Amino acid sequence: MPDSVMMNRSGMVSKIHTRIRTDTFKSSYDLVGKELGRGKFAVVKKCVEKSTGKEYAAKFLRKRRKGQDCRVDIINEIAVLESAEANPFVVSLHEVYETTSEIILVLECAAGGEIFNQCVADNDEAFTEKDVIRLARQILTGVAGLHRNNVVHLDLKPQNILLTSSRPLGDIRIVDFGLSRCVDSVEEVREILGTPEYVAPEVLNYEPISTATDMWSIGVLIYVMLTGASPFLGEEKQETFLNISQVNVDYSQDVFDGVSSLAVDFIKSLLLKNPRKRATAEECLKHPWLNGHSSPLPHLRNPLRSSLDEPETSPSESEPESPAPSPDLLIVASYKTCSGQSEMKSVRAAFAFDEPFSGRPEIKQELIC
């Protein structure tokens, strides 16, 4: 991030160079098709720029949230997107509009949707390990670029990693910098931010946030992409937080059936309680798992989940799929990302992905088990 940026105490950036347009969005864009996605304060819709015919994704962000003016949060999101302009794996920002109630970010459209969809897909549509290796390299290259700029994303999860196309499987684009922070300020950034299953132990303990905080989430993300299961999710939120703070992870053959031991080794280098011991994004990119070093594949109970080999076509013997209703894990805010979206199983319990919580130190007591 350039030296000239202005930052407040919590690592939010308050200076942007994008011109904010105040003319009517609809005079330059037509909304097309249905919604691309939504979060708690944002709706994302496909649109076409009238002058060029090009497709974009318009993210409509409400400025007032829970009675509070959140314009600074949106400006921070824009500033982070600007700082990542040259990053090929971060969604690019085309234009910004402002109305009395909303700010509209006109973003590159990632037409392949969320990697979440493949994480919860049936076996023949799920990622193979080979897919995950390619996508993991892209995610790590993108995140390494952010970290070089001292930007931490703080909400890396399958809903915020999109694809340029789903079939054939395209490239990744990292989106949603709503919780991102700049960590090069002299002040330590300590905040309770993130999405329960993906937050690192230091977040739960209200310890300083660093680039290593994202690396934990990448460990969870890769676990989910390879196994289709969420490593820390418990039946109740307290159990989830306890699992995280105890780093209670199931690396058994049952869960990692058909996945290489190098992949497990890679995840183990990230799901470490001490942030200083976690591999950095650059170190991860040098890991043998991502560099074509093969390791003997374990017995494949479920060949379609395998990958270093060509996927086979025999039917899977595995996993009855009957997710129970998802527990509500959120402290501050909770909702499902997309109505009608598939749910995903946890190692321990069925669940749906939740949206991030964000909060202040006062809620710490509620979060810590």
Q: Which residues bind ligand ADP (CB under 6 A)?
A: 36-42, 44, 57, 59, 91, 107-110, 114, 159-160, 162, 175-176, 178
Looking at the Cβ atoms of 42 and 224, the one nearer to ligand ADP is 42
CA distance 236 to 328: 8
CA distance 71 to 61: 9
CA distance 283 to 144: 10
User: Does 176 participate in binding Mg ion (rule CB under 5 A)?
Assistant: yes
Which residue among the candidates 73, 155, 176, 354 is catalytic per the annotation? 155
Decide: 250 and 227 in contact? Cβ < 8 Å: no
Beta strands in 26-101 (DSSP E): 29-38, 42-49, 55-62, 64-65, 68-69, 93-98
Instruction: Choose among ligand ADP, Mg ion, none what residue 224 binds, the Cβ cut-off being 5 to 8 Å by kind.
Output: none
286-299 as b/e: b if 16+ CB within 10 A: ebebbeeeeeebee
- Least Å from the CB of residue 39 to Mg ion: 5
Q: Which residue is nearest to ligand ADP (CB)?
A: 39
Q: How many CB atoms neighbour CB 316 within 10 A?
A: 16
Instruction: Choose among ligand ADP, Mg ion, none what residue 81 binds, the Cβ cut-off being 5 to 8 Å by kind.
Output: none
Instruction: Choose among ligand ADP, Mg ion, none what residue 162 binds, the Cβ cut-off being 5 to 8 Å by kind.
Output: ligand ADP
Instruction: Choose among Mg ion, ligand ADP, none what residue 77 binds, the Cβ cut-off being 5 to 8 Å by kind.
Output: none
Looking at the Cβ atoms of 165 and 274, the one nearer to ligand ADP is 165
Looking at the Cβ atoms of 176 and 257, the one nearer to ligand ADP is 176
Is 155 one of the catalytic residues? Answer: yes
CA distance 77 to 58: 14
Those residues whose C-beta lies under 8 Å from the C-beta of residue 116, and which sit 6 or more positions away, are 157, 158, 159, 337, 341, 344, 353
Q: What values do phi and psi take at 304, rounded to 5?
A: -70, -20
- Least Å from the CB of residue 155 to ligand ADP: 8
Looking at the Cβ atoms of 171 and 265, the one nearer to ligand ADP is 171
Looking at the Cβ atoms of 128 and 337, the one nearer to ligand ADP is 337
- Least Å from the CB of residue 358 to ligand ADP: 11
Those residues whose C-beta lies under 8 Å from the C-beta of residue 132, and which sit 6 or more positions away, are 222, 225, 226, 263, 307
Instruction: Choose among ligand ADP, Mg ion, none what residue 345 binds, the Cβ cut-off being 5 to 8 Å by kind.
Output: none
CA distance 289 to 293: 6
- Least Å from the CB of residue 179 to Mg ion: 9
Report the C-alpha dihedral over residues 128, 227, 172, 72, rounded to 10 degrees: 180
Instruction: Choose among Mg ion, ligand ADP, none what residue 42 binds, the Cβ cut-off being 5 to 8 Å by kind.
Output: ligand ADP
Report the C-alpha dihedral over residues 218, 222, 224, 228, rounded to 10 degrees: 170
User: Does 39 participate in binding Mg ion (rule CB under 5 A)?
Assistant: yes
Looking at the Cβ atoms of 160 and 211, the one nearer to Mg ion is 160
- Least Å from the CB of residue 303 to ligand ADP: 30
Q: Which residues are catalytic?
A: 155
